[in-house]
Amino acid sequence: MNMKKKQDGSNLTVFVSGRIDTVTAPEFEQYLKESLDGIQSLTIDFKDVNYVSSAGLRVLLSYHKKMMKEGGMKLVHVNEAVNDVFEVTGFDEILDYEKG
């Protein structure tokens, strides 16, 4: 998994590629934690994410709740494989995301 970020004022976009799974989810969580000081709006670009496990879903849910208090979190460019995981787990009803 690789991550990079782009900040525009209080808006942050995090670009993630690879798998968000049991091995990489702690790194993803730490990266978000270190990046959110002063951030009101978080966008996570899933264009190059090909798999999300339950560990990854836990991180997404945690930061969804955290960012709802600040201004919001949105996922963009979610592919069909990840969208299927969201639908099966009910996360499609929780997360704000766009398929892409």
**pTM (two decimals):** 0.94
Taking a C-beta distance cutoff of 8 angstroms, is the pair 55, 75 a contact? no
Fold of 2-99: Transcription Regulator spoIIAA (3.30.750)
Per-residue pLDDT reduced to its tens digit, 56-85: 999 999 999 999 998 899 999 999 999 999
* Tokens encoding 25: 């989810």
Cα 11–Cα 36–Cα 100 angle in degrees, nearest 5: 55
Q: Is 10 helix (H, G, I), strand (E, B) or coil?
A: coil
Taking a C-beta distance cutoff of 8 angstroms, is the pair 95, 64 a contact? yes
Nearest one of 77, 79, 74, 78 to 94, comparing CA atoms: 74
Per-residue pLDDT reduced to its tens digit, 8-51: 999 999 999 999 999 999 999 999 999 999 999 999 999 999 99
* Tokens encoding 64: 């969804």
